[in-house]
Copies of this chain bind each other. A is one copy, B any other.
């Protein structure tokens, strides 16, 4: 039978990155392509102890169906945490548990977008979000960015000229893939513009706790007097990515729609691990744990930056993150990074070509993304050396 797939799925391709990694079985390749947290960031022994306790004393709750909104004690402790750390949560807001930040993004799109509606986003942006929009039949529309994030004039132009814009999706802190952070004045402008044009903001903050340099900048959600911001985050980068636990804070009216949509997707998130996270957050010092992850990523990021400075030809520029997982490199003379990256993989170093992250899949990019959280220190040194040598040859010949 010739299948007649839905329009939204017919042309949607799997994430290029996940496909690269599924097929990356050659152990001699040094990968800067991932986005995985370091395994050192998982508090294994503590989780093991707590899990045994749940099987012992709470198994009939932990293994049974539960409510869609999530485990109430975990929701409450997360509410308190984002309030304290990020000034998030007003009387009109509520917080629910989702199956990773990815589900929060997808549900927000499903809640607001009909097929054909537009979602504005940084260009480049997180591929998982772009595909979540596409998988709902919504069309991502990229807004030009500089090293301070979304350019307000470009945003206003898009808000004015694009039909059926329902959401602005933004990662203002340690953006994926660029590693940049939007300063406060820009955040305020983004908020005011969306308010003016009646567009809901979807603020994604998966890396917010991973600052290893400088001071926190207020989240856009912390400015949300009007109740127009959906805030998504997760425990993937600070406790475990594989457990798939994220959370969303948004006005109650939006949350109640997202709950209905979530009920139809997976009924609820794995309840055992929701209880495990709650126990970890009450019985151990999560802030001390996060401090260790920050120190680890600070060291790894600095090491990679030093190597890049030493090895890369001057014409290749790169961002200098204050947190998160990624560095964004840009080739000179608008060279297409796709060909560059392909040659680099042959030299056994994997990075992600910039075009992967563009709203318009047919556009080209001269940038590529590096990750420093997953590779070992040795591989960072060795891999950047290979990258530098190859880049010099490449620029000489292109």
- The reply to whether B18 and A44 contact each other, CB–CB distance below 8 Å, is no
Please encode chain A, from 1 to 42, with 1 for each CB lying within 8 Å of some chain B CB and 0 for all others: 101111111001111001000100000000000011101001
Copies per assembly: 2
Give the interface segment out of A107-115, A170-178, A296-304.
Answer: A107-115
Partner of A244, one of B15, B228, B266: B266
- The reply to whether B51 and A241 contact each other, CB–CB distance below 8 Å, is no
**Given the interface contacts A110-B8, A112-B4, does A244 sit within 8 Å of B264 by beta carbon?**
no
Give the interface segment out of A98-106, A150-158, A283-291, A345-353.
Answer: A98-106
Q: Tell me whether A66 is interfacial, beta carbon within 8 Å.
A: yes
User: How far apart are the CA atoms of A100 and B18 in the complex, in Å?
Assistant: 22
Give the interface segment out of A57-65, A80-88, A215-223, A383-391.
Answer: A57-65
User: How far apart are the CA atoms of A114 and B227 in the complex, in Å?
Assistant: 31
- The reply to whether B114 and A7 contact each other, CB–CB distance below 8 Å, is yes
**Given the interface contacts A99-B266, A111-B5, does A271 sit within 8 Å of B242 by beta carbon?**
yes
Q: Tell me whether A332 is interfacial, beta carbon within 8 Å.
A: no
Q: Tell me whether A335 is interfacial, beta carbon within 8 Å.
A: no
- The reply to whether A260 and B12 contact each other, CB–CB distance below 8 Å, is yes
User: How far apart are the CA atoms of A61 and B44 in the complex, in Å?
Assistant: 11
Please indicate the chain B residues that have their CB under 8 angstroms from the CB of A51 in the complex.
Answer: 51-52, 55
**Given the interface contacts A112-B4, A135-B260, A166-B4, does A65 sit within 8 Å of B267 by beta carbon?**
no
User: How far apart are the CA atoms of A177 and B259 in the complex, in Å?
Assistant: 23
- The reply to whether A14 and B67 contact each other, CB–CB distance below 8 Å, is no
**Given the interface contacts A14-B259, A99-B99, A128-B264, does A242 sit within 8 Å of B65 by beta carbon?**
yes
Please indicate the chain B residues that have their CB under 8 angstroms from the CB of A241 in the complex.
Answer: 63-65
Q: Tell me whether A265 is interfacial, beta carbon within 8 Å.
A: yes
Please indicate the chain B residues that have their CB under 8 angstroms from the CB of A35 in the complex.
Answer: 65
- The reply to whether A267 and B102 contact each other, CB–CB distance below 8 Å, is yes
- The reply to whether B102 and A266 contact each other, CB–CB distance below 8 Å, is yes
- Which of A60, A228, A251: most chain B CB closer than 10 A? A60
Q: Tell me whether A280 is interfacial, beta carbon within 8 Å.
A: no
Query: Whole-angstrom distance from the CB of A379 to the nearest CB of chain B?
Result: 16
- The reply to whether B267 and A100 contact each other, CB–CB distance below 8 Å, is yes
Please encode chain A, from 114 to 154, with 1 for each CB lying within 8 Å of some chain B CB and 0 for all others: 11010000000000100110110100000000000000000
**Given the interface contacts A113-B6, A128-B263, A265-B102, does A198 sit within 8 Å of B1 by beta carbon?**
yes
Q: Which residues of chain A have a CB within 8 Å of any CB of chain B? A: 1, 3-9, 12-15, 18, 22, 35-37, 39, 42, 44-45, 47-48, 51-52, 55-56, 59-68, 99-100, 102-103, 106, 110-115, 117, 128, 131-132, 134-135, 137, 166, 198, 200, 226-228, 236, 240-244, 251, 253-254, 256-257, 259-261, 263-273
- Can you pick out 15 interface pairs between chain A and chain B where the beta carbons lie within 8 Å of each other? A1-B226, A6-B110, A9-B257, A22-B67, A35-B65, A44-B55, A63-B240, A64-B240, A65-B242, A100-B266, A102-B267, A131-B260, A134-B264, A243-B271, A270-B270
